């Protein structure tokens, strides 16, 4: 995507990113901070979040807050508690990027262990839903808030071996569509991003034999991440966007 926002695109905006300690989430957090946003970094590994918080401070951006939450074990109460803590800290949320995700083993449907299936559904669907529910009141207090879910090409067209992950991303697309319709008269817009093959550790575990140099980096795909958090996307709702339009799904060629 060609998008050249002004350097103050996200000034005064408060944005929460899940899975902010690594990969695409880390890059999104740093990018949003660079464009003026105040960040709330949520993730599983405190040391990684602290490092991103430190990097944000060192670059002179607005100070970020961190919340450690393991989405694999998070209950509805845990999500509500995080939302209550955030409410003590900020008056509203102008953006939430649900980026954290679990891939699990690439294996035929017939061989998926129930535990693996449940884990993927818990992180990618249930916890994302619970956190969305808990954070909605804060988003609705904003005069223009953006809720962004992270999908995948296998969340639009099933692919052999991608089992629970693919099904969870279909569910993510469904969650986005339902919410987009429910809030279409409000100041909240709801959309999905499909990053497309991107150079991260999740991608390397899915395609260990791939030449990662042929992949876009998280930094390369940030234009769409910025567009959806800024006011230029104010009227976009219920859309599943591609960060790499035209890219053929599957291994890099
Ligand atoms: P990474 O594995 O690099 O990063 C995932 C992030 O999610 C990490 O910060 C990780 O935390 C966090 N996370 C994982 N499990 C949990 C959990 N239980 N609780 C809290 N946080 C958790 O993945 P990517 O950056 O590649 O992926 C980001 C999103 O993009 C995912 O939703 C993925 O499905 C999607 N995607 C990625 C593609 C790609 O090619 N990279 C393609 C299509 C979609 P920790 O750092 O502690 O491990």
Beta bridge partners of 239: none
163 C-beta closer than 6 A to ligand 1: no
124 Cα nearest atom in ligand 1: 32
**pLDDT at residue 251 in the model:** 83
Select from 18, 19, 163 the residue to mutate for testing ligand 1; criterion: most ligand atoms less than 8 Å from CB: 19
Average pLDDT of the segment spanning 234-251:
93
Mean pLDDT score, 203-212? 93
Q: Specify the ligand 1 atom closest to the Cα of 48.
A: 46
**Residues designated as active site:** 165
CB 253: neighbour CB atoms within 10 A?
8
**What's the mean pLDDT in 171-193?**
98
Residue 6 lies in a domain: no
CB 70 within 8 A of CB 12: no
The residue whose CA is least distant from atom 32 of ligand 1 is 101
Query: How many angstroms separate the alpha carbon of residue 103 from the centre of ligand 1?
Result: 8
Q: Is the CB of 155 under 6 A from ligand 1?
A: no
**Is 44 touching ligand 1 by the criterion CB < 6 Å?**
yes
Q: Is the pLDDT of residue 248 over 90?
A: no
Task: Assess if residue 7 is contained within a domain.
Answer: no
Q: What is the mean pLDDT of residues 148-159?
A: 97
For the chain, the domain total comes to 1
Residue 1, pLDDT > 80, answer no
| pLDDT score recorded for residue 2 | 83
Q: What is the CATH number of the domain that holds 180?
A: 3.40.50.720
The residue whose CA is least distant from atom 37 of ligand 1 is 195
* Average per-residue pLDDT for the chain: 96
Residue from 182, 121, 193, 108 nearest 156 by CA: 193
How distant, in Å, are the alpha carbons of 121, 148, 220, 248 from that of 140? 26, 14, 31, 37
* Ligand 1 contact via 122 beta carbon (within 6 Å): no
1 in any annotated domain: no
In a domain, 154, yes or no: yes
**Contact 126/45 with Cβ under 8 angstroms?**
no
pLDDT tens digits, 87-121:
999 999 999 999 999 999 999 999 999 999 999 99
| Structural domain of 180 | 14-242
- Report in angstroms the alpha-carbon separations of 120 from 5, 68, 123, 230: 35, 19, 5, 30
pTM score above 0.80: yes
In tens, the pLDDT along 13-37 reads 999 999 999 999 999 999 999 999 9
Is 4 part of a structural domain of the chain?
Answer: no
Give the closest residue (by CA) to ligand 1 atom 23.
202
Determine, yes or no, domain membership for 103. Answer: yes
In a domain, 247, yes or no: no
The reply to whether ligand 1 has any atom less than 6 angstroms from the CB of 244 is no
Q: 209 lies in a domain?
A: yes
């Amino acid at each position: 995507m060609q998008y050249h926002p002004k350097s103050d695109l996200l000034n005064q905006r408060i944005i929460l990113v899940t899975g902010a300690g690594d990969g695409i989430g880390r890059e999104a957090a740093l990018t949003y901070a660079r464009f003026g946003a105040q960040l709330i970094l949520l993730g599983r590994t405190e040391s990684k979040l602290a490092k991103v918080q430190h990097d944000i401070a060192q670059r002179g951006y607005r100070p970020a807050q961190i919340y450690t939450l393991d989405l694999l074990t998070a209950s509805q109460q845990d999500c509500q508690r995080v939302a209550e803590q955030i409410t003590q800290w900020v008056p509203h949320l102008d953006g939430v990027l649900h980026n954290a995700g679990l891939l699990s083993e690439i294996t035929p449907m017939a061989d998926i262990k129930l535990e693996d299936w449940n884990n993927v559904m818990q992180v990618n669907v249930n916890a994302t839903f619970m956190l969305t529910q808990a954070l909605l009141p804060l988003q609705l207090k904003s005069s223009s808030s953006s809720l962004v879910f992270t999908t995948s090409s296998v969340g639009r067209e099933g692919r052999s071996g991608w089992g629970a992950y693919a099904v969870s991303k279909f569910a993510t697309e469904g969650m986005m569509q339902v919410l987009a319709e429910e809030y279409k008269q409000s100041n909240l817009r709801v959309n999905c991003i499909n990053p497309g093959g991107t150079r991260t550790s999740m991608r390397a575990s899915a395609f260990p034999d791939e030449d990662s140099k042929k992949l876009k980096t998280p930094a390369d795909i940030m234009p769409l991440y910025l567009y959806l958090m800024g006011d230029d996307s104010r009227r976009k709702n219920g859309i599943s966007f591609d960060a790499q339009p035209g890219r053929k799904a599957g291994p890099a060629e």
